[in-house]
Chains A and B, each alone.
Chain A
Amino acid sequence: MAEYLVDIKNERLSFFTPAGEVKALNDVSIQLKEGEVLGIVGESGSGKSVTAYSLMGLTAHPGKLLGGELHFNGHQIEKMTDKEMRKIRGNEISIIFQDPMTSLNPVYTIGNQITEVIKLHTDKDSKQAKARAKELLELVGINEPDKRLKQYPHELSGGMRQRVMIAIALACEPKLLIADEPTTALDVTIQAQILELMMELKDKLGMAIIMITHDLGVVASMCERIAVMYAGRIVEYGTTDDIFYHPKHQYTKGLIRSIPRLDTKEHERLIPIEGTPVDLLNPPEGCPFAPRCDAAMKICLREMPPVSAFGDVHYTQCWLNQKEEFEKGASHE
């Protein structure tokens, strides 16, 4: 068991809303070793944030875990009580949220918010906690830390606030950092700064990162492994090179084709994925991507495809791969 830091097995999670059951996660499995960076990409509503939040026990009512196992660093998350959860949250596992403008408390100073975490999880007194907070601000590249500790979030720019969020997340040197679209609300030049900082800190502190984003560019430069999610399922999983150079699922292929590139020399028309994202209240039968897939077959609309694996870490769920394998097998005989 100790082989993986994170080992999620066949997780199923639904939100029971007044409009009906929303199946947010269907059979999601993720493995992550210590010090690895995993990217989860997908559209809004594909379940990428929910996967990560469930690891922290943040999917409270009306969310309900319906099945599966969540192992993290020797803990079994789904069996833990709130009290036990509180001990590892912010301590062994931390999160940075998308919007640094709203995730800091506006009525407390920066110093107050950083020392809160330190005092909660260690036996440091106020003075030691403050010294640690200063150290953390220096670590995330904020100059004049003494002055910043006394300031309120509104006095800082977006990039600075995200650095403070990272400082809070790193306060107890967690084993796993979950970054939920950490740069989506920031400008590109600031995004480059924050991504660089995260990679530096990863090397320094040796933590694992789960990077949730919709930006394929961000995962290409940061992650070792990528999980592509669609409608609450991991439709393809593999190393970064597998996903970008040998995509096997029609959705992954479509996603990579549809982004405009900076290095084209002539005007090429974009190839979009037609249709609209899945309505999770009424997911289609069979493969959820089938209604938008240009290679959909009859069986795709009826049955969920089984997993086809390519090598150790690369796997996907698509009938086309099953068909290819079958045809290959037939020609050998």
Chain B
Amino acid sequence: MSEHLIEIEHLRQYFPAGGFGKHKKFVRAVEDVSFYIDKGETLGLVGESGCGKTTTGRTMLRLYEPTGGRFTFDGDVVFDVEKKQYADMLPYRKRMQIVFQDPYASLDPRMTVGDIVGEAIDVHKLAANKEERFERIISILERVGLNSEHANRYPHEFSGGQRQRVGIARALAVHPEFIVCDEPISALDVSIQAQVINMFEDLQEKMGLTYLFIAHDLSAVKHISNRIGVMYLGRMVELADSYELIDRPLHPYTKSLISAIPIADPKQARASQRIVLEGDVPSPLNPPSGCAFRTRCPYADERCAAQVPEWREVEKGHFSACHHIDKCN
């Protein structure tokens, strides 16, 4: 039916935040987010902390129970909350995996690296006997630049970059088609980040992987992604081809986000005019009416307070949700 590998429609994720009965309050972590990812493609997801990018990734894998929306994977429904349709997740866990942000916290300190990688092989019964299991573990470790000698060691014996490689090996153990990369490089040193980014690219090429790459570092996301989605306070505000997004942003938030990034080039940095946003991100418990960005937006008017801007395709493949798109150009 559809040619997209991943299709998300109107995804919503609310978390309870105190109160009873009628007064029950919710944090609207993800509100009405829709996107698709093609096979072999990388979609980047950027935004500030608390904007819902990580929650989006985790809800897709049903690490959280979705509050609303529909997710189809390769044409099959994984969940459709409105129709109360939920697929058995076990077979999908083999096809979809996740790499977590913190390589220090996401590996069990009491398991050897071999067992961490092997656990997924056991759960999905991918190896007929011990030898096959061992061979598989080694081949995966080699793929991420580690070797057989590392299999018997514990996570604390590794550096941050190596631990992240173990985290990636764990995700690759079941030969998934789709990987959610949840800030996989932000805990690493600058000189190691480039190594890991290159490895993600190599693996994608060799194994035909599809990525949802979540990060707050726009330069890194632009480097690895084909398209980028920008989130603000639980909503997607803009989505476009990555070069297009950087060159011609069609949302004031994207524009200020790009200009806020310090440029590692002193002459350009001196010449550039920064748009410095006033104030802080509003609390997601109590988001502003209408457009969530209006409290910090230079173009905001009454219409922005009254009406949530529509998510629309402004140009082919370039989506934006803003009442004042013409002013951004």
Contacts and interface: CB of A to CB of B under 8 A. Distances in A.
A160 B264 contact: no
Interface string B169-197: 00000000000000000000111111101
Nearest to A259: B264
Interface stretch (B83-91, B133-141, B255-263): B255-263
Nearest to A279: B159
B264 A216 contact: yes
A293 B263 CA distance: 26
A191 interface: yes
Contact of B192 (A160, A188, A215, A276): A276
Interface stretch (B55-63, B97-105, B274-282): B274-282
**Overall SS of chain B's interface:** helix
Contacts of B266: 220-221, 240-241, 244-245
Contacts of B48: 187-190
A32 B194 CA distance: 32
A286 interface: no
Contacts of B193: 258, 272
A188 B280 contact: no
Interface string B274-305: 10110011000000000000000000000000
A218 to B, nearest CB: 5
Interface in B195-240: 195, 197-198, 201, 216, 218-220, 222-223
B280 A216 contact: no
Interface stretch (A80-88, A174-182, A260-268, A309-317): A260-268
Contacts of B257: 188-189
Interface in A297-327: none
B258 A262 contact: yes
Interface stretch (A104-112, A120-128, A192-200): A192-200
Which of B161, B195, B197, B266 has the largest count of A CB atoms less than 10 A from its CB?
B266
A220 B268 CA distance: 9
B280 A269 contact: no
A159 interface: yes
Contacts of B264: 216-217, 220, 244, 256, 259, 261
A298 B193 CA distance: 28
Contacts of A245: 266
B162 interface: yes
A218 B218 CA distance: 15
B64 interface: no
A270 interface: yes
B270 interface: yes
Interface in B61-111: none
Interface in A20-74: 43-44
Contacts of A172: none
A261 B246 CA distance: 11
B265 interface: yes
A192 B159 contact: no
A220 B263 contact: yes
Contacts of A291: none
Contacts of B201: 269
B176 to A, nearest CB: 24
A34 to B, nearest CB: 22
A271 interface: yes
Nearest to A224: B266
Contacts of A214: 189-190
Contacts of B281: 157, 187
Contact of B262 (A187, A221, A273): A221
B262 A220 contact: yes
A258 B194 CA distance: 6
A119 to B, nearest CB: 30
B307 interface: no
Interface string A237-257: 000110011000000001110
Given A189-B277, A190-B280, A214-B190, 20 more contacts: A187-B48, A191-B260, A191-B262, A192-B259, A192-B260, A192-B262, A192-B274, A220-B262, A220-B264, A220-B269, A241-B266, A244-B264, A245-B266, A258-B194, A259-B194, A259-B219, A260-B197, A272-B197, A272-B198, A277-B191
6 nearest A-B residue pairs (beta carbon):
A217-B262, A272-B194, A260-B223, A221-B269, A187-B48, A258-B194
Interface of A: 43-44, 157, 159-160, 187-193, 195-196, 214-218, 220-221, 240-241, 244-245, 254-256, 258-265, 267, 269-274, 276-277
